[in-house]
Amino acid sequence: MSTAINSTNFGDETLEIIAFRLHDQEFCVRTTTIREIRGWAPSTPIPHAPADVIGVMNLRGSVIPIIDLAQKLGMKSTVANERSAIVVTEVHNMVIGMLVDRVSDILTIPATQVQPVPEVSASFDKSFSEGIIATEHGMICFLNLSKMFKGSEMEDMAA
């Protein structure tokens, strides 16, 4: 069994990632998917929206959905505060905002540092994660946004 994901899965020998916290856990995504990082601002709720959609916000004239990323990942909802941030990203050609507790760091790491997610059980769906990054400060779960937000789900949010 391989202990690291082959760097050809990522295309480059290094990866640029942005790390953020949800509760006491560290997660990251590729910087290439990020449009901007904004401070927390209340959003406008949408009636009958999915549970992980907090609402919408105006981003320079465009209305974008704001997702409670913790709830999307099966964690308890994030309670926004002054340290919270909205990570604005583009997934399947749609711009969305993801509520996180705080942005931690922007890192450049060797692709070989990304290790596969261990098999937990036969019914465990690890498709939301590209792998785990072990650092001197702990573990970072590397999220796969395109698998977290399926194309059909994005169309429903836009409707």
88: Cβ contacts below 8 Å, ≥ 6 apart: 34, 35, 36, 37, 38, 59, 64, 95, 96, 97, 98
Residue-level pLDDT, tens digit, the chain, 159 residues: 334 444 335 555 899 999 999 999 999 999 999 999 999 998 999 999 999 999 999 999 999 999 999 999 999 998 899 999 999 999 999 999 999 999 999 999 999 999 998 877 665 667 889 999 998 888 999 999 999 988 655 455 544
